[in-house]
Amino acid sequence: MEEAKKQTLKGRDQIAEEYKWDLSQLYESDESWEKEFNQIKGRVSEMEDYQGKLGESAETLLAGLNLSMELNRILEKLYSYAARKNDEDTTANKYQGMKARIQALYSNFASISSFMVPEIIQIPIDKLESYLAQKEELKLYKHYLDDIMRQRSHYLSPQEEKIIALAGEVTQGPSNIFGMINNADISFPTIKGEDGEEIEVSHGRYIDLLKDKNRHIRRDAFKAYYSSYQELENTLSMTLSSNVKKNIFYRKVRNYESSLEASLAGNKIPVEVYTNLIDTVSKHLDSMYSYIDLRQAALELDELHMYDLYTPIIKDVEMKVTYEESQNIILEALKPLGAEYLKVIKEAFENSWIDVYENKGKRSGAYSASCYDAHPYILMNYTDSIDNLFTLAHELGHAMHSYYSNQTQPYLYADYSIFVAEVASTVNEALLMQYLLRTTEDEEKRKYILNYHLEQFRGTVYRQTMFAEFEKSIHDSAEQGQALTPELLAKEYHNLNQKYYGQSIVVDDEIDIEWARIPHFYYNFYVYQYATGFSAAITLSQRILEEGQSAVDRYLTFLQGGSSDYPIELLKQAGVDMATPEPIEKALKVFEQLVEEMKELVLVTSNV
């Protein structure tokens, strides 16, 4: 089947132009790209003229910052074009080469300009303030400079900073080793399919196998998958332990109270944001327990096991949505955001912002990519499904965030942080979800939509918060001098699964090793942002629907903010304070209501 699919894929030239993105806003042709590439290649070394001189005068500091921004902006535009062309057909040698060349030039520029932050930190604060007073144009950089100076006490001498920088390649070791084990070296057993055929378990197939209607296949895939990690538990526990020690090393040399504080400091995120998330979700686990009970009853199982968490609790519902239908649905669903917002969405649909369909060699998946000097571009591999309807709405949310920030902010502050990145995309999805629930009369389709939304909550709020608590726990243990042995990791992970899913589920022994397969545990306190972003988006979407224009105005102000302020402050402007439990509580209240509605539809109407 897979081979047949490949043979029927269209070539790029067979896709109608109306379904392809138009990159001419970046460069008219490959030749115009080459011309600018050759010009900038000769200019990157101009940064060297400012090394050791940034603190000499207000004029020199301004000139150095301006040159850095100018070159970075051109390099970003060059990269955007090469990367988009490469993604159209990843087998095309020409665009592979263009992308590799601009990546190398970008890396060279980063290396040459790496002196800037350490030099700025060496400028006495009173001197820097006098520069800002002397030179009006420098005031553009005030927030940028304040952000550097805010972290001044956590930087060391230039010689010590050089040593820390040299250690970077070594301290990436645990993450790189895990990547090689997990992607290249590990192998999985085969299991028997429904017709007795051999199925090799793999990363790509695992979740699909857990969704299978046949419970024996789910169980066998679950046991087979984790048996491979159990065989490597000593190596993988040592790898994760080494990564935790790396984080502790950096927090010590940077003089932070904890690894958690050190990881959040870059975006000025209070530690309370992290701990509030864990504490608030922990106080509202009854709704998850209720959902687990609903799942067990709907599946008509005597015991619910961990391998029963992904299989649909409703019968298959065919909800085909063509690309043209998805455009109309999205425009209707996003009406609460106002005419101006919809006008830009229509522009995206009508003016070739989106590369819609799969073709031979095209990069898989979906994304939105922003470049300051062009509108955002969206890559899709659209198939006529409700999943792709939601994916399109999601990517349009990212695109709108980039569009508004680019339109409002100078280049320096146009990009936005990871902490807020998923907010705009999830607001779009939440408004789409509410629209579908309001307008879908077919009961089976309504069940399907509700189940989709409940699984979003389970995977993004509850599961990611469990990951966040595990990450904090193992760092705390290591800080207290405990060895992160396979036994300690397994016990902690087992207990957390029991805590988050409750007593109605059998926490199978195999799940105790799941920590060994999660790449995000090597990202240094990253996963909590999925849960906070989702919760903020649910709260914002509710307010947009309930309050109307005043909430919309605040939300659009947030979208225009880029990185002109810290992410917590930008979200406050939208009306959400992530330093308090309120947004998390509001999101969990929505989950509770969805569970109750699903119970009515699945249990009462079905007499289960």
Q: Which of helix, strand or coil describes residue 304?
A: strand
Residue entry with tokens 């850095």: 68
Strand partners, 198: 192
CB neighbour list of residue 12: distance below 8 Å, 6 or more residues apart: 88, 89, 359, 360, 361, 362
Question: What span, in angstroms and rounded, lies between the C-alpha atoms of 169 and 159?
Answer: 17
Strand partners, 378: 354, 368
Return left, alpha or beta for 9; rule: phi > 0 is left, psi -120 to 50 is alpha, else beta: beta
Question: What span, in angstroms and rounded, lies between the C-alpha atoms of 482 and 478?
Answer: 5
Q: Which of helix, strand or coil describes residue 191?
A: strand
Give whole-number Cα distances, 340 to 376, 404, 552, 571, in Å.
17, 11, 11, 21
Spot the catalytic one: 395, 422, 471, 510.
395
Query: Where do runs of H (alpha helix) occur along 254-313?
Result: 259-265, 271-283, 286-299
Question: What span, in angstroms and rounded, lies between the C-alpha atoms of 9 and 548?
Answer: 45
Burial grade of 360 (CB within 10 A; 0-12, 13-18, 19 or more): middle
Instruction: Please give the structure tokens belonging to residue 361.
Output: 């060699």
Question: What span, in angstroms and rounded, lies between the C-alpha atoms of 19 and 369?
Answer: 17
Instruction: Please give the structure tokens belonging to residue 546.
Output: 């309930």
Cα maximum dimension of the chain: 79
Question: What span, in angstroms and rounded, lies between the C-alpha atoms of 229 and 436?
Answer: 41
Output the CA angle 477-483-486, nearest 5 degrees.
Answer: 105
Question: What span, in angstroms and rounded, lies between the C-alpha atoms of 464 and 470?
Answer: 10
Residue pair 504/292 in contact by the 8 Å Cβ criterion = yes
Question: What span, in angstroms and rounded, lies between the C-alpha atoms of 415 and 110?
Answer: 18
Instruction: Please give the structure tokens belonging to residue 534.
Output: 């989702």
Half-sphere exposure (Cβ direction) of 586: Cα atoms closer than 13 Å? 20
Residue entry with tokens 């307008």: 439
Q: Which of helix, strand or coil describes residue 192?
A: strand
Question: What span, in angstroms and rounded, lies between the C-alpha atoms of 243 and 522?
Answer: 7
Question: What span, in angstroms and rounded, lies between the C-alpha atoms of 207 and 217?
Answer: 12
Query: Which helix (DSSP H) or strand (DSSP E) does residue 487 occupy?
Result: helix 486-501
Task: For residue 356, report the phi and psi dihedrals to the nearest 5 degrees.
Answer: -85, -55
Query: Which helix (DSSP H) or strand (DSSP E) does residue 369 occupy?
Result: strand 367-369
Q: For residue 441, indicate whether it is catalytic.
A: no
Question: What span, in angstroms and rounded, lies between the C-alpha atoms of 58 and 128?
Answer: 8
Instruction: Print burial letters for 463-485: b (CB count within 10 Å at least 16), e (below 16).
Output: bbbbbbbbbbbbbebbbeeeebe
Question: What span, in angstroms and rounded, lies between the C-alpha atoms of 361 and 40?
Answer: 30
Question: What span, in angstroms and rounded, lies between the C-alpha atoms of 519 and 516?
Answer: 8
Catalytic residues: 395
